[in-house]
A and B are shown apart, each in its own frame.
Chain A
Amino acid sequence: MAKRIGIEVSIALAEAVKLANVDVIAAYPITPQTHIVEHLSEVVADGEVDAEFVPVESEHGAMSCCCGSSAAGARTFTSTSSQGLLLMSEILFIPGPMRLPIVMAVVDRALSAPISIWNDHQDIMSQRDVGWIQTFAENGQEAFDLTLHAFRVAEDRRVSLPMMVNIDGFTLSHVVEAVELLSQEEVDQYLPPFKPRYRLDPRKPITMGPVGIPEVYSEAKVAHNEALKASKKVILQGWKEFADLFGRQYNPVETYRSEDAEVLLVTMGSISETAMTAIDTMREKGQKAGLVRIRLWRPFPGPEFRKAAGKAKVLAVVDRCLPPGSTCGPVGAELRSLFYKVPGSPKIFNFVAGLGGRDVTVEWFEEMVEKATAFAKRRPKELYEVIGVREK
C-alpha cells in the first residue's frame, strides 16, 4: 500500500528510481542534484536495490556511461544540474536518435557567470533541443510520480527515447513535503521490466551509431523527430493508467481558474504554486486572471495548450531564463510561434523572472498580469521584460 510521509523531494525522487528497480546509475555530484545521487548510492550500498552505481569522473562521462548501459539493455538513470548538464551537452544529443531510453532528473539551476547554485531554468532551456522528452514537476508528489512515468514512457517500445524530469533546484529539490510513496507492488503493476528492442549482444551483433552519410542523415533526424512527436500518445496513456491505478491524473498542461479568465499567467515548474496563490488574490480583487502551467515541454503539446488558453485575451508568459540578444524567452517564443496568425489568438507578453534563485513573489505575478493587460492595449517596445530587477 502507498504511504504518505514527509520527505525531502530529492529523496522522494530517488525512492521512485529505487522502486523502478533501476539497473545502472551513473552520476557525478553537483549542487543541488547531490541528495538524489547520495540517496541512490545509499540504497545500492544497503542492497535495497540491486543496481550498479558508477561514480563517474564527470557529467560527460555520466551521460556516456548511460549510453553504454542503456545500449546494453539496462534500465539506466542519472541526474545533474546546471554546469553539469552543459558538460553533458555533447552527449545529450545522441541517445535520442539512437533510441536509448535513459531517464534523467534535471535539478534546474542557474548558469555561470557569475556562478550561482540557485534555481532558474537557464540550464535546461539551453538544452531544449537535445531531442529528449521533457517534463517539469511542480511539487514533490509530481517529482515522484513523473519519475516513474518517465521510465514507463521512455522504455515503451513504441517510444524508446530518453526522458528527463525537471525539478527546480532547492525550491523544490531540498524542501520537505508530504508525498505519497507507492509500494513496490504498486510500482510493479505500473512499470513493466525493461525489454529493449535491440541491445549490444554478441549473439546478434548489430552496429549502433554508424556514420550518417548525406544520403541518410536527414531521414535519420526526421525519424527521431517523428518518434518524439509520436511519443505524446504514449505519454498521455502513461498518465491515464497512472490515474486509473493511483488516482492522480496528470496532463500535458494544467489550468487553474482559467475558464473565464481574460489574462492567463503561463508558468513551468515550482513557481506555479506561488502563481496559484497570486491568482486567488487577484480573483478576490475581482480580476479575471487564471493560470496555465506547462508540464510537458517536449514534445510541445500545442493543441492542449491552445485548448487550455481558451478564450483568454492576454497571456503573461513567465520565463526563468534570459536569452541574451533574443526577442524573448524560450517559452515566450514557443507560444508566439504556436499562436502566430491563429485567428482570435491571445496577445502574448513575456516576463523573465526568478533568475539565479530570486524568489518570484505573489506581488510580482500581480505586476505581470497588470503589465500584460496594459501592454495588450498599448504594445511595448520590447517583447519581454525582466521583472524585479533593479536599475540603480
Chain B
Amino acid sequence: MANTDAIVGWKTITFGCHVMEPGSSAKFRTGDWRSQRPVIDNEKCIKCGMCWIYCPDMAIIQAEDGFFEVDLEYCKGCGICAHECPKDAITIIPEEG
C-alpha cells in the first residue's frame, strides 16, 4: 500500500527526515483492518471504563453522558473490550460486506 503522503522529493523532505506533526498517525484509519466490530449495549453498561482503558487503539471514546462509543475509524476489531467488559455489555458482530 503506497503511502501518498510520503511522496516528497529530496528537496522537500523534512529536515533530518524528522516528523514535525505530533500525533499525525491519526490520519491513518486502521478501521479498514476490521472484520468484526464491537457493539455497546448502554442498557447494561455501568460506565466503568474497562473497555476504554484496555483498548490498544485508543478507539473507545467516552461521550458527554458518560457512556462509551467505539471509534470505527480506528477500531481494529480485536475484541478485548468485549472480553474484558464485566457486564457483558459489548457484543462482537461480524462486519458485513
* Chains A and B touch each other in the complex, with CB atoms below 8 Å apart: yes
Residues of chain A at the chain B interface (Cβ within 8 Å): 97-100, 160, 197-198, 205-210, 212-213, 215-216, 218-220, 222-223, 226
Query: Cβ of A216 and Cβ of B17 under 8 Å apart?
Result: yes
Q: Which chain B residue shows the least CB distance to A205?
A: B22
Q: Which chain B residue shows the least CB distance to A198?
A: B18
- With A213-B3, A213-B6, A216-B8 as given contacts, are A208 and B13 in contact (CB-CB < 8 Å)? no
Q: Within the complex, what minimum Cβ distance (angstroms) separates A391 from chain B?
A: 51
- Output the residue of A99, A206, A213 with the most chain B CB within 10 A: A206
Query: Cβ of B22 and Cβ of A220 under 8 Å apart?
Result: no
Q: Within the complex, what minimum Cβ distance (angstroms) separates B11 from chain A?
A: 8
Query: Cβ of A220 and Cβ of B3 under 8 Å apart?
Result: no
Q: Which chain B residue shows the least CB distance to A210?
A: B19
Partner of A216, one of B11, B13, B15, B18: B13
Chain B residues 8-39 with CB under 8 Å of chain A are 8-11, 13, 15-20, 22
Partner of B8, one of A99, A208, A219, A226: A219
Q: Within the complex, what minimum Cβ distance (angstroms) separates A374 from chain B?
A: 47
Q: Within the complex, what minimum Cβ distance (angstroms) separates B90 from chain A?
A: 33
Q: Within the complex, what minimum Cβ distance (angstroms) separates B86 from chain A?
A: 36
CA distance A218 to B15 in the complex (A): 14
CA distance A78 to B15 in the complex (A): 24
CA distance A99 to B15 in the complex (A): 8
Query: Cβ of B6 and Cβ of A206 under 8 Å apart?
Result: no
Total A-B contacts with CB atoms under 8 angstroms apart: 54
Inter-chain contacts of A219 with B (CB < 8 A): 8-10, 13
Q: Within the complex, what minimum Cβ distance (angstroms) separates B68 from chain A?
A: 28
Partner of A208, one of B9, B11, B18: B18
Inter-chain contacts of B7 with A (CB < 8 A): 215-216
Total number of B residues with any Cβ neighbor in A under 8 Å: 16
Query: Cβ of A215 and Cβ of B3 under 8 Å apart?
Result: yes
Does B2 make an interface contact (CB < 8 A)?
A: yes
Q: Which chain B residue shows the least CB distance to A218?
A: B10
- With A205-B22, A206-B22, A213-B3 as given contacts, are A198 and B16 in contact (CB-CB < 8 Å)? yes
Query: Cβ of B6 and Cβ of A215 under 8 Å apart?
Result: yes
- With A205-B22, A206-B22 as given contacts, are A220 and B6 in contact (CB-CB < 8 Å)? no
Which 9 A/B pairs are nearest by Cβ-Cβ distance? A99-B16, A207-B19, A222-B10, A215-B6, A223-B10, A219-B10, A216-B6, A220-B17, A205-B22
Inter-chain contacts of A207 with B (CB < 8 A): 18-19, 22
Q: Which chain A residue shows the least CB distance to B23?
A: A205
Query: Cβ of B22 and Cβ of A97 under 8 Å apart?
Result: no
Inter-chain contacts of A218 with B (CB < 8 A): 10
Q: Within the complex, what minimum Cβ distance (angstroms) separates B59 from chain A?
A: 22
Q: Within the complex, what minimum Cβ distance (angstroms) separates B21 from chain A?
A: 8
Inter-chain contacts of B17 with A (CB < 8 A): 97-98, 209-210, 212, 216, 220, 223
Inter-chain contacts of B13 with A (CB < 8 A): 216, 219-220, 223
Query: Cβ of B16 and Cβ of A208 under 8 Å apart?
Result: yes
Inter-chain contacts of B19 with A (CB < 8 A): 206-207, 210
Query: Cβ of A97 and Cβ of B16 under 8 Å apart?
Result: yes
Q: Which chain B residue shows the least CB distance to A208?
A: B18
Inter-chain contacts of A160 with B (CB < 8 A): 15-16
CA distance A218 to B13 in the complex (A): 11
Q: Which chain B residue shows the least CB distance to A216?
A: B6
CA distance A213 to B17 in the complex (A): 11
CA distance A215 to B9 in the complex (A): 10
Chain B residues 41-74 with CB under 8 Å of chain A are none
Partner of B15, one of A198, A205, A212: A198
Q: Within the complex, what minimum Cβ distance (angstroms) separates A323 from chain B?
A: 30
What are 26 residue pairs bridging A and B, where the CB atoms are less than 8 Å apart in the complex? A97-B17, A98-B16, A98-B17, A99-B15, A99-B16, A198-B16, A198-B18, A206-B18, A206-B20, A207-B18, A208-B16, A210-B18, A210-B19, A212-B17, A213-B3, A213-B6, A215-B2, A215-B3, A215-B6, A216-B8, A216-B13, A220-B10, A222-B10, A223-B10, A223-B11, A223-B17
